[in-house]
Chain A
């Protein structure tokens, strides 16, 4: 169908330390015991998109990701890994692989998006309107019980003040204004408002970071505006702002067919045909704007920015904070469990001791052993864990190869791989980085424990 897919898998992420480390780049962060990148690739595979480019920041991370992908998806997908230098942003990443892009339209998906919206819907909307860019919007996910404590407190203050403002036209097909993380004022283009007449401002939708771009438009924007770092914050608002005055930037006349016909009569015929087709459909406000008042086509060129609004019953969350990580883990085992592949329920050989209860929405990886009188509720436990007796794990994520001593209480926390918790440790709303050893009898509340990098 002439679409090329680029998955932006990122690498390290400052929001997710200490979960993310050199050995565990962000795309491989496990959600319900399965790396988050799996969900994106699985969705694309189900939509029959088998040729992908995955962009990873950092050479080591690229190697790790590449190894995992070829292990899991042999023969099912054909993936090309591109490593880009760190911290160049999403736009920079696309700029780096720009020479690989050949198809007419590019579908850009963020590697940390967990959703069940089919990418085909976005692509179909893009083609139907012949748009320059199409964005997917979804409702802002309701986050779970937010963490209390120092980091949570700061986030709460931020959450109250910041909004995503999205302006749509009355038919909800075109994007008129987009601004993320606004604190006080929002500036709206008068020209667009004047052309369209009515604009609907929504703050309950957010940009899901799945875009469909026309390749020529994308490459031109990236070439001309080389200070743009991020797709979401720079490129997309730029395209939306300039949708009615794109002559400076984009050459929109379809020059291919017209150049072939030298004769005046055939050019007249082309004009005739395009007039019939244009008269047949209700013109969008772009068409009305680009015509002079007497009806002739003026030289004002416009491009269309369309949206696809995911239905409220679909699940769409981005993994870009620790709170989101906890929420996604909880949802994927709970409401949205259709996202999981079937071979991911309680592994074949967890050994449970006597009087140990495992709640309904839990996942236990293979090779895990639990002692007696343990309680596991709404949690996910990775592979090869050794959990002692009288341990209570509630609302938490425990990754692989973790040793938990007897009598521990773990609530609302994330424990990374190879961590050792000695006896009677109490953790509440903490994040423990990989390889850490928590000494016996310690109590931590809302802290982030990590091994110091040597």
Chain B
């Protein structure tokens, strides 16, 4: 939904569960994206805990975790959402005079709109929800309610196993063939797939060095760094402002993605495009590791038309250093606007190869996979 269309925003607000106040000072270029005042949403949602009757407690819990930032990362969000939906389906019973298919679809849609209000959906979650709705719609009418529910839960399990877990294993298997002894591998942020590749390669006995590049305000690389160091890998940690210095020593770059679009653009955490561009300038191959369920048939040319705006206060504050408060009084001024983008788009020219569970493909083959395999496997 485009948020600069006033009438639609008003309608959505009426139906909304989470009451959100729009932030006042917004960048003109990003007015079509939702930007709410952070800090008021969580307490407001908490006070309404017992009043949201149609909401299942598991879905509510996941929504709260999204809102407070307790769960991050495309795979984790998708898995958490599916686990909550499984609980909801388990406790679901068809009301009298209604069909299971329509009512359950409507119920799932209401849960999804609640989750969107907590935090905009990632593309992987969108694909997963499409899959679920498709499976519900294809349920044969002759099934009894308990059989239908168990079929759905099995389908969800199958999706998670095949599309997320198994595909991660396949990606890891492909990717470790690209790691040789003596390599210096660079990664940005904290991608679950890249972490698994590095750990697996280490287990296989390969000798390599890892450079973890991180960026404010989320500093996600620190968690990855902690886990890698604990397993005994030799690591270097730096921030994105030094990436052009460190790129001289790097032999390969492994990046994760939130999604890969049909023109080969990689939609991933903000800063990835920067890293990929610098790698390209230094002739370092860039390998993007992404599960196939995250592919999308959309085409995006820049980072502006579709993105997510995060909490602007996170940029102006440094965690743990309260004395750095230079922007404290200036937040509400007219000529200062804080912009905290979450995602960015990396053009396909900077990407050497995409490693998916269907194999290692060039970025131009993404629409082929979307076209051929999506119809067969995802929505069969």
- Asked whether, in the complex, the Cβ of B72 is within 8 Å of the Cβ of A121, the reply is no
- Minimum distance in angstroms from B280 CB to a CB of chain A: 29
In the complex, which residue of chain B has the Cβ closest to the Cβ of A107? B50
Residues on the B chain within 8 Å of A49, using CB: 50
- Minimum distance in angstroms from B187 CB to a CB of chain A: 14
- Asked whether, in the complex, the Cβ of B79 is within 8 Å of the Cβ of A48, the reply is no
8 A Cβ contacts from B63-79 to A = 64-65, 68, 70-73, 75-77, 79
B142 interface residue per 8 A CB criterion: no
- Asked whether, in the complex, the Cβ of B71 is within 8 Å of the Cβ of A128, the reply is no
- Asked whether, in the complex, the Cβ of B223 is within 8 Å of the Cβ of A276, the reply is no
- Cα(A277)–Cα(B53), bound, Å: 27
What mask results when residues 203 to 239 of chain B are scored 1 for a CB within 8 Å of chain A, else 0? 0000000000000000000010001001100000000
- Asked whether, in the complex, the Cβ of A128 is within 8 Å of the Cβ of B68, the reply is yes
- Cα(A121)–Cα(B42), bound, Å: 9
A295 interface residue per 8 A CB criterion: yes
Residues on the A chain within 8 Å of B49, using CB: 1, 47, 118-121, 123-124, 127
Residues on the B chain within 8 Å of A2, using CB: 57
- Minimum distance in angstroms from A323 CB to a CB of chain B: 30
- Cα(A49)–Cα(B73), bound, Å: 35
Residues on the B chain within 8 Å of A75, using CB: none
- Asked whether, in the complex, the Cβ of A273 is within 8 Å of the Cβ of B165, the reply is yes
Residues on the B chain within 8 Å of A282, using CB: 70, 223
Residues on the A chain within 8 Å of B50, using CB: 1, 3, 47-49, 119-120, 123
The secondary-structure label for the interface of chain B is helix
- Cα(A78)–Cα(B77), bound, Å: 39
A145 interface residue per 8 A CB criterion: no
In the complex, which residue of chain B has the Cβ closest to the Cβ of A50? B50
- Cα(A118)–Cα(B46), bound, Å: 9
Interface size on B, residues (CB 8 A): 36
What mask results when residues 33 to 66 of chain B are scored 1 for a CB within 8 Å of chain A, else 0? 0000000000101111111010001001100110
Residues on the A chain within 8 Å of B342, using CB: none
- Asked whether, in the complex, the Cβ of A127 is within 8 Å of the Cβ of B60, the reply is yes
Residues on the B chain within 8 Å of A185, using CB: none
- Cα(A419)–Cα(B140), bound, Å: 76
- Asked whether, in the complex, the Cβ of B80 is within 8 Å of the Cβ of A277, the reply is yes
- Asked whether, in the complex, the Cβ of B161 is within 8 Å of the Cβ of A269, the reply is yes
- Minimum distance in angstroms from B310 CB to a CB of chain A: 16
- Asked whether, in the complex, the Cβ of A280 is within 8 Å of the Cβ of B51, the reply is no
A267 interface residue per 8 A CB criterion: no
8 A Cβ contacts from B56-110 to A = 57, 60-61, 64-65, 68, 70-73, 75-77, 79-80, 83
Residues on the B chain within 8 Å of A281, using CB: 65, 70-72, 76
A294 interface residue per 8 A CB criterion: yes
- Cα(A282)–Cα(B68), bound, Å: 12
Report if A121-B47 is in contact (Cβ < 8 Å); known contacts: A128-B68, A295-B230: yes
- Asked whether, in the complex, the Cβ of B192 is within 8 Å of the Cβ of A293, the reply is no
- Minimum distance in angstroms from B166 CB to a CB of chain A: 9
Report if A120-B223 is in contact (Cβ < 8 Å); known contacts: A128-B70, A269-B161, A295-B230: no
B176 interface residue per 8 A CB criterion: no
In the complex, which residue of chain A has the Cβ closest to the Cβ of B52? A1
A272 interface residue per 8 A CB criterion: yes
What mask results when residues 239 to 264 of chain B are scored 1 for a CB within 8 Å of chain A, else 0? 00000000000000000000000000
How many contacts A-B (CB < 8 Å)? Answer: 92
- Asked whether, in the complex, the Cβ of A293 is within 8 Å of the Cβ of B230, the reply is yes
- Minimum distance in angstroms from B343 CB to a CB of chain A: 17
- Cα(A364)–Cα(B71), bound, Å: 54
Interface size class of A (residues with CB under 8 A): 20 to 34
Residues on the A chain within 8 Å of B230, using CB: 293-295
- Asked whether, in the complex, the Cβ of A128 is within 8 Å of the Cβ of B61, the reply is yes
- Asked whether, in the complex, the Cβ of B64 is within 8 Å of the Cβ of A277, the reply is no
A422 interface residue per 8 A CB criterion: no
Residues on the B chain within 8 Å of A294, using CB: 230-231
- Asked whether, in the complex, the Cβ of B64 is within 8 Å of the Cβ of A276, the reply is no
- Asked whether, in the complex, the Cβ of A273 is within 8 Å of the Cβ of B61, the reply is no
- Asked whether, in the complex, the Cβ of A120 is within 8 Å of the Cβ of B51, the reply is yes
- Asked whether, in the complex, the Cβ of B47 is within 8 Å of the Cβ of A279, the reply is no
A125 interface residue per 8 A CB criterion: yes
B155 interface residue per 8 A CB criterion: no
- Minimum distance in angstroms from A435 CB to a CB of chain B: 42
B160 interface residue per 8 A CB criterion: yes
- Cα(A300)–Cα(B47), bound, Å: 34
- Asked whether, in the complex, the Cβ of A1 is within 8 Å of the Cβ of B57, the reply is yes
- Cα(A254)–Cα(B193), bound, Å: 26
- Cα(A272)–Cα(B73), bound, Å: 15
B183 interface residue per 8 A CB criterion: no
- Cα(A120)–Cα(B49), bound, Å: 5
For A47, give its contact among B45, B51, B65 (CB under 8 Å): B51
- Cα(A269)–Cα(B164), bound, Å: 10
In the complex, which residue of chain A has the Cβ closest to the Cβ of B82? A273
- Asked whether, in the complex, the Cβ of A279 is within 8 Å of the Cβ of B64, the reply is no
B195 interface residue per 8 A CB criterion: yes
Residues on the A chain within 8 Å of B72, using CB: 280-281
- Cα(A279)–Cα(B73), bound, Å: 9
- Cα(A125)–Cα(B67), bound, Å: 12
Residues on the B chain within 8 Å of A273, using CB: 79, 83, 160, 165
Residues on the B chain within 8 Å of A119, using CB: 49-50
- Minimum distance in angstroms from A310 CB to a CB of chain B: 11
Residues on the A chain within 8 Å of B71, using CB: 277, 280-281
In the complex, which residue of chain A has the Cβ closest to the Cβ of B44? A121
8 A Cβ contacts from A252-311 to B = 269, 272-273, 276-277, 279-282, 293-295, 311
- Cα(A272)–Cα(B50), bound, Å: 33
- Asked whether, in the complex, the Cβ of A120 is within 8 Å of the Cβ of B46, the reply is yes
- Asked whether, in the complex, the Cβ of B68 is within 8 Å of the Cβ of A280, the reply is no
- Minimum distance in angstroms from B297 CB to a CB of chain A: 26
- Cα(A127)–Cα(B45), bound, Å: 13
For B231, give its contact among A1, A125, A269, A295 (CB under 8 Å): A295
- Minimum distance in angstroms from B58 CB to a CB of chain A: 9
Residues on the A chain within 8 Å of B60, using CB: 1, 124, 127
- Cα(A125)–Cα(B73), bound, Å: 22
Residues on the B chain within 8 Å of A125, using CB: 46
In the complex, which residue of chain B has the Cβ closest to the Cβ of A265? B161
Residues on the B chain within 8 Å of A128, using CB: 61, 64-65, 68, 70
What mask results when residues 94 to 118 of chain A are scored 1 for a CB within 8 Å of chain B, else 0? 0000000000000000000000001
In the complex, which residue of chain A has the Cβ closest to the Cβ of B49? A120
- Minimum distance in angstroms from B219 CB to a CB of chain A: 10
A-B contact pairs, 8 of them (CB 8 A): A1-B57, A3-B50, A49-B50, A127-B61, A269-B165, A276-B73, A280-B77, A294-B231
Residues on A lying within 8 angstroms of B by beta carbon are 1-3, 47-49, 118-121, 123-125, 127-128, 269, 272-273, 276-277, 279-282, 293-295, 311
Top-8 shortest CB links A-B = A280-B76, A120-B49, A124-B46, A121-B46, A124-B49, A118-B47, A295-B230, A280-B73
